[in-house]
Amino acid sequence: MRTNRTTRTALAAAAALALGLGLAACTEDTGTTSNAEEPAATSQPNDGGESEAAVVVFQNGWAKATDTDMSGAFGTLRNTGDVQVHITGVTSPVSDRVEMHEMVPGGSGMMMQEKEGGFVVPAGGELFLEPGKDHFMLMDLTEPITTGQVIELVLEFDDGSEQDVTLTARDFKGGEEEYVGGDHGSHGGEEGAEHDG
């Protein structure tokens, strides 16, 4: 009788020990998995989990009223976040194609060309889109742009987010820049010279 009781006590102790070791092993595994996932959780955009589109404000937007097949769009892009943002694309219902352009020195003065990789807006800073400088180029317009018309643009960001912005068309006498490179030869000549970039 005493032997059976001793055996049962020993078995119960062994079972408790095994259960305790098993729980400890599970706890260690869970901790390892949790630690492995932490780096991914900290790699959120803009350190606060906000998308790039959420921290950009587009101000004073306007476009050139025109009856030609292209126009420039301007304004101020302000980054309210603490990490730079990257605009990789732009679309508009009034244009078959929108490009981001910069101005560079050319043989006959300043010339416009597509900005390689798009626009970067510095953390806490601004990017000014102005005639004769960086700007959006509305190519192959689907209709003339008239004074006072509201134009919609969709800004596309590096993190996949998008932002809808609006601007108003106004009269503006363009600069005398020419276009450099790309497949825009069909837009050259007088139309290219009239571009307001």
113 lies in the same domain as 178: yes
105 lies in the same domain as 66: yes
pLDDT-above-70 percentage for the chain: 63
73 lies in the same domain as 152: yes
Question: Which residue has better confidence, 39 or 183?
Answer: 183
Residue 3 confidence class, pLDDT cut points 50, 70, 90: very low
- 105 domain-assigned: yes
Digit-coded pLDDT (tens) for 49-105: 789 999 999 999 999 999 999 999 999 999 999 999 999 999 999 999 999 999 888
Digit-coded pLDDT (tens) for 163-187: 999 999 999 986 544 444 444 433 4
137 lies in the same domain as 93: yes
Residue 192's nearest CA partner among 128, 90, 109 is 109
- pLDDT given at position 125: 98
110 lies in the same domain as 36: no
22 lies in the same domain as 104: no
102 lies in the same domain as 38: no
Q: How far apart are CA 75 and CA 63, in angstroms?
A: 9
182 lies in the same domain as 144: yes
| Residue 197 near residue 175, CB atoms below 8 Å | yes
**Residue 120: other Cβ atoms inside 10 A:** 16
16 lies in the same domain as 75: no
21 lies in the same domain as 57: no
The CATH code of the domain that includes 108 is 2.60.40.1890
Digit-coded pLDDT (tens) for 90-149: 999 999 999 999 988 888 788 889 999 999 999 999 999 999 899 999 999 999 999 999
Greatest Cα-to-Cα distance within the chain, rounded to the nearest angstrom: 112
The dihedral of CA 116, 58, 96, 175: what is its sign? negative
Number of domains comprising the chain: 2
The dihedral of CA 54, 59, 65, 69: what is its sign? negative
Helix, strand, coil shares, percent, the chain, to 5: 30, 40, 30
- 79 domain-assigned: yes
- pLDDT given at position 174: 64
Domain membership of residue 110 as a residue range: 53-193
Q: How far apart are CA 175 and CA 169, in angstroms?
A: 17
- 48 domain-assigned: no
126 lies in the same domain as 58: yes
Task: Report the residue count for the chain.
Answer: 197
- pLDDT given at position 101: 96
6 lies in the same domain as 66: no
Residue 24 confidence class, pLDDT cut points 50, 70, 90: very low
Q: How far apart are CA 51 and CA 157, in angstroms?
A: 9
- 127 domain-assigned: yes
